[in-house]
């Protein structure tokens, strides 16, 4: 079977991963994929494979496919623990992409950054997902992924929505370095937006005395 051979080529080395992969490759749309994946009634480690396979397929696309973002948001709406796994899968994939065997293209990092950006904008994750970043020495894949996350955040409807996203990491002392790093990045390395008013709104939101940090560690 062609799909099973493709699954093997992508190292889907367990029955669960092969089933998830084949479902993604043969579904009609993200709604169809969502219904079929939920019907599998995966538990424990099997459920965690959902995030792994979705993240893997997303980064392998030649350009970002919003299918994976819509599907991930929908799945996290019913499988609450999946948000933890998406965070860890994002971290693992970023480290792989920045490693010595990572691809030269930055498209995979951009792809998973936009997937995570969608989860951030829907409050499934918060910008705390970027806390693993050392903004003083970001490798190119990390820069691409962070930029993609911010692209999604700044594309929200209006300054209030943007500010609300940044306010979720306000107040907590454990995110002080993250707030400083994000501000540094937006002012020095982020070139996707020229709207300084939105950057200013983000900075003010992060300086708020209190905020809800949706940290899933």
Q: Which long-range contacts (CB under 8 A, 24 or more apart) does 191-196 make?
A: 191/147, 192/147, 192/150, 192/151, 192/154, 193/150, 193/151, 193/154, 195/154
Residues in the chain: 217
In this prediction, residue 202 has a pLDDT band, given cuts at 50, 70 and 90, of confident
What's the mean per-residue pLDDT of the chain?
Answer: 89
In this prediction, residue 211 has a pLDDT band, given cuts at 50, 70 and 90, of very low
Greater pLDDT, 134 or 200: 134
User: pLDDT, tens digit, for every residue of 175-194?
Assistant: 999 999 999 998 888 876 55
E strand segments, the chain = none
pTM check: above 0.85: yes
Give the gyration radius of the chain's Cα atoms.
Answer: 17
């Amino acid at each position: 079977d062609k799909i099973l051979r493709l699954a093997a080529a992508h190292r889907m080395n367990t029955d669960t991963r092969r089933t998830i992969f084949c479902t993604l490759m043969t579904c009609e749309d993200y709604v169809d994929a969502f219904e079929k994946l939920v019907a599998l009634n995966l538990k424990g480690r099997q459920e965690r494979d959902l995030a792994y396979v979705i993240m893997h397929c997303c980064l392998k696309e030649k350009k970002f496919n919003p299918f994976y973002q819509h599907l991930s948001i929908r799945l996290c709406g019913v499988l609450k623990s999946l948000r933890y796994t998406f965070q860890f899968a994002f971290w693992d994939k970023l480290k792989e992409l920045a490693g010595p065997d990572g691809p030269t293209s930055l498209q995979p990092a951009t792809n998973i950054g936009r997937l995570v950006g969608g989860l951030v904008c829907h409050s499934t994750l918060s910008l705390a997902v970027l806390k693993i970043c050392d903004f003083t020495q970001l490798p190119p894949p990390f820069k691409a992924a962070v930029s993609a996350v911010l692209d999604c955040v700044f594309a929200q409807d209006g300054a209030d929505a943007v500010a609300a996203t940044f306010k979720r990491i306000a107040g907590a002392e454990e995110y002080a370095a993250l707030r400083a790093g994000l501000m540094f990045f937006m002012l020095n390395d982020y070139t996707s937006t020229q709207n300084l008013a939105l950057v200013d709104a983000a900075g003010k939101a992060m300086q708020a005395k209190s905020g809800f940090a949706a940290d899933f560690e």
